[in-house]
Amino acid sequence: MYTAGGGWRAGPHATRYKPPAYNHGVSIIGIDYGTRRIGVAVSDSGVLASPHSIVPNEGDVIEKLARLASELDAATIVVGIPQRQFHDPRGQTFRDFAERLRQKTCKEVVLWNEELTTVAEAVIARRRSGCRKYTQSLFTITVFLFIFAIGGGYFFWRALTSPYRGYPQPVKHVEVRKGQRTATIVRHLQEQGIVRDEYVPLAYLEIVRHGESIKAGIYEFSRPISAADVVEKLIRGDVILKTITVREGLDRFAIGRIFAADGFGRVAEWDKLTANPELIHDLAAEAKTLEGYLFPDTYKLTPGTPASKIVQLMVSNFRKHFGPQMPFITTGLGLHQTVTLASIVESEAKLPQERPLVASVYLNRLQRHMLLGADPTVIYSLKLANRWYGNIHKVDLQVDSPYNTYRFPGLPPGPIANPGMASLIAAAAPAKTNFLYFVARHDGSHAFATTIEEHNRNVQRYQVQWYRDQRAAGAADSTATK
């Protein structure tokens, strides 16, 4: 320990060669040394101690402290050193600081181990040294500890509650990964400029919020915030939610690619999960996969949510939305057949008002044991065979697949896409018509017909003639530019 008259004395806890004289009316200064800020507490009478000030640890801080000691007429300056660093090489910083302060002020400077047992050891040491002012010295030590308790508490409170922002960006995003150690998380926050240092938040977690856990996810920071508020934010789990929209009519393979692209699992994992129909077996025992039961919607997810949890959420969403409608199926079809029909309607109809009409066409064909002849079922067959390249060719209409409704009668074995609520309702209660055919008009609508003759006229008008008009217009434009 450093003293005004001597140097450093080794031992389990440092003591002075001689105790400082106790003088009423002369200040005892306690210093809580920090690499960025230095807390100062003072006792004028040796009875009552109180926080005095916070001195930034920058520039000629020794000169500032020396002036402060002179102004306060201090007889003794006590510099605290953390217990864990007292016998550690890292404590050299505190010893160097104390020595420089002693040389500058020419006052007694005591380097004090912040450990309660030091009181007892100091008393024993003083008895052995023949100190005649045992009671007075013990009282002085108690005052020192009291000063450090108040000064350190004040310094800790200021560091914990003072807003801080150490990043230049308007908004800062920081990811907390599942399984990371608390110390690693807080250190990363300090590196990103969210908190001033890592020790105060760690102490707050250990002392005040002991037993609480930090939630994984991506957190957003956009303003100065105190270390305490940062910790509370992490404990509450106020994370940014990723928003993913699954539109109507996508098949399970496309849905898997969308989620995988946003970091929720891998494509192969999604293909495997959605191939297992267990989640829907109680409602649709004949389902071979979850195709048709992954409800299209906008999903807000915490980053890192497992793909399995998302699949469960989508199936639960299907139950929530269509479950109450199941008793109102008017076609005589079961749930699985209704969802299958709805998936074809979703793939064919572009206008909401036409969905019940399209559903009526396929239902009428089913009742007359006609081939459905739905192009989307051929496309799905080609996808399953890894032969879909964006266009249907005549030869594709003969693909050998139970999903090919140009070759096999009735509905396919299961849905070919995931329909939305409007298509599900249309398939559950189609319009009552005699329509057996429809053809696209190239504006999103369809022309419906009850006979093959009428249908052929519609095809001639809205398909063949339309393509002829397009080619003629293209040829005219080409001639005009020559």
Quick one: fold of 27-161?
A: Nucleotidyltransferase; domain 5 (3.30.420)
pTM above the 0.75 mark? Answer: no
Domain edges within the chain = 27-161, 172-236, 242-435
What's the confidence (pLDDT) of residue 247?
Answer: 96
Q: Decide: residue 362, CB within 10 A, 0-12 exposed, 13-18 middle, 19+ buried.
A: buried
Helix (H, G, I), strand (E, B) or coil at 11: coil
What's the confidence (pLDDT) of residue 352?
Answer: 93
Distance (Å, whole) CA 404 – CA 296: 24
What CATH code would you report for 172-236?
3.30.1490.480
Q: Tens of pLDDT along the chain (482 residues)?
A: 333 333 333 333 333 333 344 444 446 888 887 777 888 877 665 445 567 788 888 888 888 888 888 888 887 888 877 655 556 666 787 788 888 888 888 888 877 665 433 443 444 454 445 444 445 556 556 655 665 555 566 667 777 888 999 999 998 989 888 888 999 999 999 999 999 888 888 888 888 888 888 988 889 999 999 988 999 999 998 888 888 999 999 999 999 999 999 989 999 999 999 999 999 999 999 999 999 999 999 999 987 789 999 999 999 999 999 999 999 999 999 999 999 999 999 999 999 999 999 999 999 999 999 999 999 999 999 999 998 988 888 898 999 999 999 999 999 999 999 999 999 999 999 999 999 999 999 888 999 999 999 999 999 998 887 778 777 766 555 555 45
Token pair of 246, please?
A: 């699954």
Tell me the pLDDT tens digit for each residue of 403-451.
999 999 999 999 999 999 999 999 999 999 999 999 999 888 999 999 9
* Residues whose CB falls within 8 Å of the CB of residue 6, separated by 6 or more in sequence, listed in order: 16, 17
Helix (H, G, I), strand (E, B) or coil at 412: coil
The identity of residue 370, as a single letter, is M
Distance (Å, whole) CA 457 – CA 190: 74
Tell me the pLDDT tens digit for each residue of 269-305.
999 999 999 999 999 999 999 999 999 999 999 877 8
Buried b (16+ CB within 10 A) or exposed e, 451-470: eeeebeebbeebeeeeeeee
Q: Number of C-alpha atoms within 13 angstroms, CB side, residue 14?
A: 25
Task: Output phi, psi for 407, to 5 deg.
Answer: -115, -35
